[in-house]
């Protein structure tokens, strides 16, 4: 086990596309990162799955390297980060948010297989390095960052949060209606 107090930097920063696919046979969802200039949208069979293209958006992947000891943490298993807004005490992430309070922001590291059927998720080493990296970058002292793997969510598909992704950024979304003022038209 390393005794280095790591100082992390981003490395291997690559711009590409996060491609999402679904199996129309069993309903499974999967995603992968593509560096191709034209995003592949082909349907294909892989074992029992019949994958079809569901969508994609511009994304960036990166790894972390320690400036002191050179250790590299591979983050290829992470497809994105989500700021959790969950406060559900039945969910481990929600419980953690309630315990840590408002000055701590919890970010969920998302893996490619939201069902976790394969048993894998973003690695423990990756989650730890991400937490250390983002906290090392904080200068204001206003907040603390905690990164957790998405397998910690009770139901990741229903989990409340804001995904940091370059998709849907220009779409309308519903906002709570403002109380009407006197004289406003109905």
Partner 1 sequence: MKISEVVDKTALEALNGWDDEDLAGVYISDMVSDIITGANGCGLLLTLQTHKSLIAAANLVDVGAVVFAHDKRPAADVVELADKAGIALFTTPADTWSYAVKLFELGMR
Interface residues with partner 1 (CB under 8 A)? 10, 13, 15, 58-60, 62, 81-83, 102, 105, 107, 134, 137-140, 142-143, 145, 162-166, 168-170, 175-176, 178
Q: How many CB atoms lie within 10 A of CB 103?
A: 9
Residue number, 103 or 185, with CB nearest to partner 1 = 103
Query: Please, what is the minimum distance in Å from the beta carbon of residue 39 to partner 1?
Result: 15
Query: Please, what is the minimum distance in Å from the beta carbon of residue 183 to partner 1?
Result: 21
Query: Please, what is the minimum distance in Å from the beta carbon of residue 104 to partner 1?
Result: 11
* CA-closest candidate to residue 62, choices 49, 76, 44: 76
**Residues 6 or more apart whose Cβ sits within 8 Å of residue 76:** 33, 61, 63
Residue number, 3 or 140, with CB nearest to partner 1 = 140
What is the C-alpha separation between 179 and 82, in angstroms, rounded?
A: 31
Residue number, 92 or 105, with CB nearest to partner 1 = 105
Query: Please, what is the minimum distance in Å from the beta carbon of residue 68 to partner 1?
Result: 20
Query: Please, what is the minimum distance in Å from the beta carbon of residue 3 to partner 1?
Result: 27
Residue number, 13 or 117, with CB nearest to partner 1 = 13
Q: Are 77 and 123 contacting, i.e. CB atoms less than 8 angstroms apart?
A: yes
Residue number, 90 or 178, with CB nearest to partner 1 = 178
Distances (CA, A) of 172 to 48, 80, 175: 37, 22, 9
**Residues 6 or more apart whose Cβ sits within 8 Å of residue 4:** 66, 68, 69, 71
């Amino acid at each position: 086990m390393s005794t280095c107090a790591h100082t992390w930097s981003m490395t291997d920063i690559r711009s590409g596309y996060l491609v999402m696919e679904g199996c129309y046979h069993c309903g499974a969802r999967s995603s992968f990162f593509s560096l191709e200039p034209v995003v592949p949208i082909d349907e294909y069979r892989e074992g029992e799955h019949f994958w079809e293209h569901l969508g994609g958006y511009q994304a960036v992947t990166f790894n972390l390297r320690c400036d002191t000891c050179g250790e590299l943490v591979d983050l290829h298993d992470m497809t994105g980060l989500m700021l959790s807004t969950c406060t559900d005490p039945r969910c481990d992430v929600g419980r953690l948010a309630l315990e840590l309070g408002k000055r701590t922001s919890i970010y969920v590291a998302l893996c490619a297989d939201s069902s976790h059927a394969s048993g894998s998720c973003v690695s423990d080493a990756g989650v730890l390095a991400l937490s250390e990296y983002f906290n090392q970058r904080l200068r204001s002292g206003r907040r603390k960052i905690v990164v957790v793997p998405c397998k910690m969510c009770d139901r990741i598909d229903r989990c409340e949060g804001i995904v940091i992704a370059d998709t849907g950024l220009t779409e309308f979304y519903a906002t709570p209606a403002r109380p009407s003022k006197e004289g406003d038209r109905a």
